[in-house]
A and B are shown apart, each in its own frame.
Chain A
Amino acid sequence: MTTLAATIAATIADREAEIREAWFEQIEALAGRMELPHLAQSLRAEAADFLVAFIGALRSGESDLQDDGLAVVLRKAAEISAARARDGFTPSETAAFVMSLKDALLPVVIAAYRTAPAELGEAITGANRMVDALAVETFASYTRTREEIIERQSRSILDLSTPTLRIWNGILLMPLVGIIDTQRAQQVMEAMLTAITREEARVAILDVTGVPVIDTRVCLHLTRTVAAARLLGARVVVTGISPDAAQTLVKLDVDLSGMITRGSLRAGLAEALRLIGSSVGALVREAS
Chain B
Amino acid sequence: MCDRQVEKTIRLQEDIIGARQAGRDLARAAGFGTVDQTRIATAISELVRNALLHAGGGLCRIAVETTEASATLQVTVSDDGPGIPDIALAMQPGHSTTRGLGLGLSAVRSLMGGLSIESRPGRTTVVTSMTRRR
| Residues of A bordering B, CB below 8 Å | 154, 158, 179, 181, 212-217, 219-220, 242-245, 247-248, 251-254
Cβ contacts under 8 Å, A213 to chain B: 20, 38, 41-42, 45
Picked from B14, B16, B34, B106, the residue with its CB within 8 Å of the CB of A253 is B106
| B13 close to A216 (CB less than 8 A) | no
Roughly how many angstroms separate A91 CA and B108 CA in the complex, as a whole number?
39
* Closest residue of B by beta carbon distance from A242: B38
Roughly how many angstroms separate A154 CA and B15 CA in the complex, as a whole number?
10
Picked from A179, A214, A215, A247, the residue with its CB within 8 Å of the CB of B13 is A179
Cβ contacts under 8 Å, B107 to chain A: 215-216, 251-254
User: Whole-angstrom distance from the CB of B12 to the nearest CB of chain A?
Assistant: 8
Roughly how many angstroms separate A181 CA and B16 CA in the complex, as a whole number?
10
Cβ contacts under 8 Å, A181 to chain B: 13
* Complex interface residues of chain B between 11 and 49 (CB less than 8 A to chain A): 13-14, 16-17, 20-21, 34-35, 37-39, 41-42, 45-46, 49
* Complex interface residues of chain B between 71 and 115 (CB less than 8 A to chain A): 93, 100-101, 103-104, 106-107, 110-111
Roughly how many angstroms separate A215 CA and B110 CA in the complex, as a whole number?
13
* Closest residue of A by beta carbon distance from B47: A215
| Total A-B contacts with CB atoms under 8 angstroms apart | 70
* Closest residue of A by beta carbon distance from B106: A253
Cβ contacts under 8 Å, B42 to chain A: 213-215, 248, 252
Residue of A158, A212, A219, A242 contacting most chain B CB atoms (<10 Å): A212
Roughly how many angstroms separate A215 CA and B13 CA in the complex, as a whole number?
14
Picked from B21, B100, B111, the residue with its CB within 8 Å of the CB of A217 is B100
| A244 close to B106 (CB less than 8 A) | no
Roughly how many angstroms separate A57 CA and B50 CA in the complex, as a whole number?
52
Q: What are 28 pairs between A and B in contact, CB < 8 Å?
A: A158-B14, A179-B14, A181-B13, A212-B20, A212-B21, A212-B41, A213-B20, A213-B41, A213-B42, A214-B42, A215-B49, A215-B104, A215-B107, A216-B103, A216-B104, A217-B45, A217-B46, A217-B101, A247-B38, A247-B39, A248-B35, A251-B110, A251-B111, A252-B42, A252-B107, A252-B110, A252-B111, A253-B93
* Closest residue of A by beta carbon distance from B99: A220
Cβ contacts under 8 Å, B106 to chain A: 253
A154-B14, A179-B13, A213-B45 as given contacts; A219 in contact with B101, CB under 8 Å: yes
Roughly how many angstroms separate A216 CA and B106 CA in the complex, as a whole number?
11
Roughly how many angstroms separate A15 CA and B132 CA in the complex, as a whole number?
66
